[in-house]
Structure 1
């Protein structure tokens, strides 16, 4: 609950999405500042559950497939553990926002309401929102039907096509041939967007805001990815235009919670928004000072700046994804240099268990992938994905 000075008075904090390295990192930061950390998720052995920062781990029903059971379990957990603040880290944020929308909960959810979350998660309505705030945006058309697709087919080599509801760059078509669009079937239930391809330098942003005021911001560049999707090796960047863009979005939406962006810096220096993810992303790993981070985010202290300068990586992911890409593209020397100069983001003084916990966590995801005949990346979020109102 907010204190008289604007701070959030905490007894115990619940972090959801314990499968994610960002959940582990956030738990370590808050635990380091003296808070009791409870973690929850649907896997049986997520990496964050192995951390000394985790006082207790609770396994929850899958929200995508069992929303009512999930809501009941979350409420029971909050009451049993005396939780006063819930911080989502992954796409379960949408499911939690629906829980808070549908019932009176005994804890504060560190996220906006479901209406705003949906608006920024939607790849078309986010661009329209940014435009209303007064930001320059790339040309972005909504595709609700085959006729909408036909209207832009002739310009396909100038455009990027992606589902309105998607993650990890899944299904993205980058400047495809007109014929490649035959595989796309937009509909009101499964809309797509066609967005102008922008030449330039990609910038990712992770931010925390309170009431529209920026409390933490890390700008970074992913240099290696898991396939086309999530970054697994990233370095910090500084860019005033990117910072201004983030500030204007959080102020224009009166945002409270975590929020992240995919941006593009054009050769002339202008920064354009591509899409928004209203959750934690890898930029969180550039903060390692618990006292300053928690003072800014929970105690309403001044904005905290990143205190890590070295590139961050998950070495296991680099061996799985980065090395094959380096061998395929002839970038072995660059790969060796990256591994030599980076820091393992899972490392933390006095808390080594999560590094070893990667293996059973990966095995659990791999079993889901094999059973469902999907990729590892799809399996990692299958049970928490949210694909718009009425999705299941």
Structure 2
């Protein structure tokens, strides 16, 4: 376990933020820091972008929770004792491993997350839809595929379906309204199930919420008009939508949710909302909050909403992913209009981060991707992702 130098004085309040590789983790660190917290950060890369922030008091490099869970748990114990953290805020899929550790060990720090069984249920794209049905919430038609025979029953309807692994992120391997011949690459099994979901026409809305004991405390709704490939959004435009708000409020209340939660929703032409999938962790909606910290807000009876009017973007990712896509699709003018309208989420008034440090973090991911023969997006989560099973 590696430790960076301590850069800030002790505070009565210390928070540990995990997943330091993610821009949302950096944003969380800045929000807690401006609220007077001492921020400790942890993750597995050597050079996560958050570690260079002036808001990061100390950075701990940890073993991979996916491949060395016992070592990760021991290292987590060491960090919590050494830094006297009272709160742990996960930002990426390490949340599943942390929930298991908290289930098995007697830590005094609060893990800001639901218990493991609920996390597992909502992360699975089939079980999430079944949960929504059980809660009397509207859902799209969704079928579980656990064999080639299951897949074959969908062939005559494949042009109206979306196929995706039950455990996945960044729209990895998703097939939208494919031809039957394209389905030959899918091999569903009980260990690696897929879902076939009815394709919905409408307006996709991303939702990011924070709740405690079933009370929704903060909510950011937004569109992602530019993405890294099919999945991860890199451009975030805040919106309001009453039906989306009501869906999130009902889900949070009916599950007694505590922690962060996000949804991909579809707003149909009649204004109603259907859920597509759920991510029980931090997503880019956090970037829509700058003056107020939704991760440590109290239940005042008033919902905390985004407080910045301009669209937000991950500027480096816009150049790397969005510009080539815009050139290919003939939307170069749209790209530059979007670029000129938005603020870079990496920029913060009192916390400058050099472009070289951002590139250093990205190069670490590219190096791993080249070494393992996988895509940069796959490399960015390989050591922390959770696909319904444990490697220990």
Root-mean-square deviation (Å)? 1.4
Distance 1:31 1:141, change over 3 A: same
Tell me by how many angstroms 1:389 deviates.
3.2
Distance of 1:51 and 1:266 partners within structure 2: 41
- Alignment match, 1:114: 116
2:350 is aligned to 350
Q: Give me the whole-angstrom Cα distance separating, in 2, the residues matched to 1:354 and 1:128.
A: 46
8 A contact 1:71–1:99 mirrored in 2: yes
Contact 1:347 1:355 in 2 (8 A): no
Q: Which residue of structure 1 aligns with residue 6 of structure 2?
A: none
Which runs of 5 or more structure 1 residues have no equivalent in the other structure?
1-8
Which residue of structure 1 lines up, in the alignment, with residue 379 of structure 2?
A: 379
Say whether 1:155 aligns with 2:154.
no
Q: What's the counterpart of residue 7 of structure 2? A: none
Partner of 2:38: 36
Q: Say whether 1:316 aligns with 2:316.
A: yes
Give 1:298 shift.
4.4
Structure 1 length as normaliser, TM-score?
A: 0.95
How many angstroms does 1:10 deviate by?
6.7
1:366 corresponds to: 366
Runs of at least 5 residues in structure 2 that lack an aligned partner in the other structure: 1-10
Instruction: State the distance in 1 between where 2:12 and 2:195 align.
Output: 42
Question: Alpha-carbon deviation of 1:391?
Answer: 5.1
CA distance in 2, matches of 1:121, 1:155: 26
Match 2:206 to one of 204, 207, 210: 204
Contact 1:216 1:297 in 2 (8 A): no
Per the TM alignment, residue 315 of structure 1 is displaced from its structure 2 partner at its CA by 1.1
**SS at 1:137's partner residue?**
coil
CA distance in 1, matches of 2:162, 2:187: 15
State the secondary structure of the residue aligned to 1:231. coil
Structure 2 distance, partners of 1:391, 1:129, is 26
Offset from partner CA, 1:105-139 (integer Å, 9 cap, x none): 12110001110000000000100111111111000
C-alpha separation between the residues in 2 aligned to 1:382 and 1:364? 13
2:80 partner SS:
helix
Are residue 46 (structure 1) and residue 48 (structure 2) matched?
Answer: yes
Whether the aligned pair in 1 keeps the contact of 2:346 and 2:353 (CA below 8 Å) is: no
2:188 counterpart (167, 171, 186): 186
1:95 to 94, 97, 100: 97
1:11 CA drift (Å): 2.5
Using the alignment, how far apart are the partners of 1:363 and 1:309 within structure 2? 32
- What's the TM-score, normalizing by structure 2? 0.95
Match runs of 1:1-392 below 5 Å:
11-289=13-291, 292-293=292-293, 297-301=296-300, 302-353=302-353, 355-390=355-390
Task: Tell whether the 8 Å contact from 2:219 to 2:305 is kept in structure 1 after alignment.
Answer: yes
Misfit runs of 4+, over 4 Å: none
Q: How many residues align?
A: 381
- Tell me the distance in 1 between the aligned counterparts of 2:33 and 2:82: 20
